[in-house]
Amino acid sequence: MTPIKTQFVTIDLDRPSRLQITAVWYNLRYSRPMSLEGRISSSGEGVHIRATYHKPLTDRQSLNIRRALGDDHQRIYYDETRPEAKPSQILFDTKNGKTAGQWTADLEHLQRMYRP
């Protein structure tokens, strides 16, 4: 089996504190991504953060980053145990009839939009 490579890392934070959002954002920014964006999840109770890199990462590298930054444990579990069953690192744009917010590269804007 050939290792899958991706150029992005997505983090799904469920009911995070503003401090957790800021910590994840700055830890990803420290890794020097080409772009870094966040949005409010479709439930309004979570935050999605996406970092895109110049060079591909292996699945293992991506999983290690996601685990270290507190990504949803269920997403990590599915990506580790059922890689052929669904796209890796999926974030839903629409779920249960609700739509996720617009992506923003402005952490302060993301923080203002999030209402825990």
**Mean pLDDT over the full length of the chain:** 88
pLDDT single digits (tens) 19-48:
999 999 999 999 889 999 999 999 999 999
pLDDT single digits (tens) 98-110:
999 999 999 999 9
Concatenating the DSSP letter of every residue in 20-48 gives HHHHHHHHHHHT--SEEEEEE-TTSSEEE
User: What is the predicted pLDDT for the residue at 86?
Assistant: 55
User: What is the predicted pLDDT for the residue at 89?
Assistant: 76
Percent of the chain with pLDDT over 70: 91
Concatenating the DSSP letter of every residue in 64-100 gives HHHHHTT--HHHHHHHHH-TTTS-TT---SEETTEE-
Sign of CA dihedral 80, 83, 88, 94: negative
User: What is the predicted pLDDT for the residue at 1?
Assistant: 40
Under a CB-based contact definition with an 8 Å cutoff, are residues 70 and 11 in contact?
yes
- Domains, the chain, in order of start with CATH, read 5-113 (3.30.70)
Identify the helix (H) or strand (E) that includes residue 55.
strand 46-58
Task: Give the C-alpha distances (Å, rounded to integers) separating 46 from 1, 20, 56, 61, 91.
Answer: 34, 11, 27, 24, 11
Query: What would the two tokens of residue 99 be?
Result: 């739509």
**Residue 114: how many CA atoms within 13 Å on its side-chain side?**
28
pLDDT single digits (tens) 58-96:
888 888 999 999 999 988 888 888 766 555 677 888 888
